[in-house]
A and B are shown apart, each in its own frame.
Chain A
Amino acid sequence: MTSNNRQTSNNSNANRSPVNGQSARTCQFKMVLLGESAVGKSSLVLRFVRGQFHEYQESTIGAAFLTQTVSVDDTTVKLELWDTAGQERYHSLAPMYYRGAQAAIVVYDITNADTFSRAKVWVKELQRQAAPNIVIALAGNKADLAAKRQIEVVDAQTYADENGLIFMETSAKTAMNVNDIFMAIAKKLPKNQDSSSGRTGNNGPSITVDRPGNSRAAGSDGGCCAGTK
């Protein structure tokens, strides 16, 4: 059941370590996934981050904070990917989930019309709760099951155009458009320093509580574009 096309290297320090050398600058963004249960949110992330697909992916357990780094022009874009951890199931997602999110993928299942209506509700919720400049992509997942299609491409495309969303049909199973949709978001994210340095904005440095002896103010490293100062 498992295909492992691509091994990504992620060491434990990658998330927090400062940018080394004078090479490309690094920007870090929080990206959230939204959509009904079982549309393939976790599968898309696992395909993107690990190149893996599990036919019978269980409901998300144990992993809800993956990171993946992509290059856009001369910039290294680090995506911090937040999964819902199942909290969407009974409409119990915490406001914390949306806070500081700079990008979102709203996922629906092309073989299930209900999930498309729900996707529209999630988009509204994002427009209400998230930052005004958030980059939103709509993913019509399970495109490998086109024979059972209930949502036409043109309908989703029209909705996406009307709402300024990136749109692609994807398949976590075949990997179709998975990297592409993440790359399209990465390209659209603002790479200037002010707009992408996390939750605090310009309100002075905040503290990331860390192991004893490691205390320091966040923003001095690991934030956006540390290499360009």
Chain B
Amino acid sequence: MDEEYDVILLGTGLKECVLAGLLGVAGKKILHMDRNKYYGGESASMTPLEDLYSKFNMSPPPTDTGRGRDWNVDLIPKFLMANGLLVKLLIHTGVTRYLEFKCIEGSYVYKGQKIHKVPADEREALSSSLMGLFEKRRFRNLLVWINDYDEKDPKTYKDVPPNTRMIDAFKKFGLDQDTIDFTGHALALHSDDDYLEKPALETIKRIKLYSESLARYGKSPYLYPLYGLGELPQGFARLSAIYGGTYMLDKPADEIVYENGVVVGVRSGDQVARCKAVICDPSYAQDKVKKVGQVIRAICLLRHPVSVGTNASPGSIQIIIPQKQVQRHNDIYVCCMAQTNMVTPKDWYVALVSTTVETNNPEAEIRPGLALLEPIYQKFVSVSDLYEPIEDGTTSRLFISSSYDATTHFESTCIDILDVYRRYMGEPFDFSKVTRGLDADDNQEGAQ
């Protein structure tokens, strides 16, 4: 600790670990600390199961839950879009070589007390139970239009320029309210309806991301790492370590030390590690962040897969409950993983229900999600405050990431990562500059 570092990172959540990896590759000298004795912070996967029970101040799990080490329980539910930003970062950094993924088997949406498979292409749309015959045609026309839409080619606009309000774009295709709901929430993955008043281009891009992601591996657009999401921060931490980053777990950060308003170090016990900048999650700089909302998450252990009606239940699944279906402002997300994802023992399932908190009785808000999971063997409910930094850090050299939001995938997480990177480096991250990929074999590089 008695050296001087370019950056000290506090907390080994996914955001801080990706940044440690990117900055390590960029040649920065890094010290990365975490107060916990495990990697991942808020975005850890708890293992063994005993650690999850003790985190929630409960006595050890009953013996029928099997071997504790067979469990890897995510604290925050999210998926990777197969064609999304996190996958790009994984490929560009070569971290993908440490990980294996599986496709989430089913993508479903809740409508009229039932769950339906999300139709993602024209063919599926025509056989979907979500819409009547004429509506299917209109929906198909919308998908074809989006698929062809090219920002740079006005001919593809079909009279809907990029800055048209999305609600007007929907009207042009004559879609009814239910179809608008699942298109905006289950394909474009908006979590509320604010997007309807915003330019259509944003939603068009999101639907393209969904369908391109779906095209990669087939069953759904979502990827999920074997052994849980906690593998992601570990993989990026390894990248950072390979580039010389120093890792200390179980190391409290007692104080961020300033001189003239600028960060100069971090104190742990009676040691001070000196540095030119600190990057941390909000929990390490509570006086420099503001609360912007709350998320409720319920982790549920199940002895059965989530039922999808008549069809055989997929082991891994996402169900989106669009806000209008349950008279809310924000969607409720349900996901479930199983032994095939290496996160539970055989015949066990772990499901998470989450949403942005809107009332002072958050547990009541997620009831429609929990109802899809009954009977629930054990439930762990947490309500987390969401924080954002007060300042961008360019003056103080203290760069704080935002809390993990309620969204169901990592796109907003990556946007925040790239934003912290830009604030720290003074220039945006350039994907084309990173050469380390699958083509770069470690054998050709070598330690010196």
Query: Using a Cβ cutoff of 8 Å, how many contacts connect chains A and B?
Result: 135
- In the complex, the answer to whether B248 meets A211 with C-beta atoms within 8 Å is no
Q: Is the interface of B mostly helix, strand, loop or mixed?
A: mixed
Which residues A67-104 have CB closer than 8 A to chain B?
A: 67, 85-87, 89-92, 94-97, 99
| Partner pick for A207 among B39, B91, B102, B442, CB 8 A cutoff | B102
| Any B CB within 8 A of the CB of A133 | no
Separation of A87 and B249 alpha carbons in the complex (Å): 10
| Any B CB within 8 A of the CB of A200 | yes
Query: In the assembled complex, how far is the CB of residue A218 from the closest CB belonging to chain B, in whole angstroms?
Result: 6
Query: In the assembled complex, how far is the CB of residue A93 from the closest CB belonging to chain B, in whole angstroms?
Result: 9
10 extra interface residue pairs, beta carbon distance < 8 Å, beyond A61-B448, A198-B100, A208-B100: A12-B439, A61-B244, A62-B447, A87-B247, A90-B249, A92-B248, A94-B238, A204-B340, A206-B100, A207-B103
Residues in A whose Cβ lies below 8 Å from that of B244: 59, 61-62, 86
Give chain B's interface residues, CB within 8 Å of chain A. 39, 47, 69, 83, 87, 90-91, 96-103, 216-217, 223, 226-227, 231, 234-235, 237-238, 241-244, 246-251, 339-340, 342, 437-448
- In the complex, the answer to whether A206 meets B102 with C-beta atoms within 8 Å is yes
Separation of A189 and B32 alpha carbons in the complex (Å): 36
| Any B CB within 8 A of the CB of A162 | no
Query: In the assembled complex, how far is the CB of residue B223 from the closest CB belonging to chain A, in whole angstroms?
Result: 7
Query: In the assembled complex, how far is the CB of residue B218 from the closest CB belonging to chain A, in whole angstroms?
Result: 10
| Any B CB within 8 A of the CB of A157 | no
Separation of A63 and B250 alpha carbons in the complex (Å): 26
Which residues A1-31 have CB closer than 8 A to chain B?
A: 8, 10-12, 14-16
Separation of A206 and B96 alpha carbons in the complex (Å): 13
Query: In the assembled complex, how far is the CB of residue A92 from the closest CB belonging to chain B, in whole angstroms?
Result: 4
Separation of A60 and B442 alpha carbons in the complex (Å): 12
Q: Is the interface of A mostly helix, strand, loop or mixed?
A: loop
- In the complex, the answer to whether A61 meets B447 with C-beta atoms within 8 Å is yes
- In the complex, the answer to whether B339 meets A203 with C-beta atoms within 8 Å is yes
Most buried by B among A57, A61, A94: A94
- In the complex, the answer to whether A206 meets B241 with C-beta atoms within 8 Å is no
| Partner pick for A62 among B96, B235, B238, B243, CB 8 A cutoff | B243
Give chain A's interface residues, CB within 8 Å of chain B. 8, 10-12, 14-16, 42, 46, 49-50, 57-67, 85-87, 89-92, 94-97, 99, 129, 198-200, 203-204, 206-212, 215, 218
Which residue of the partner chain B has the closest CB to A14?
A: B441
Query: In the assembled complex, how far is the CB of residue B104 from the closest CB belonging to chain A, in whole angstroms?
Result: 11
Query: In the assembled complex, how far is the CB of residue A209 from the closest CB belonging to chain B, in whole angstroms?
Result: 5
- In the complex, the answer to whether B447 meets A46 with C-beta atoms within 8 Å is yes
A96-B238, A209-B223 are known contacts. Are A10 and B444 too (CB-CB below 8 A)? yes
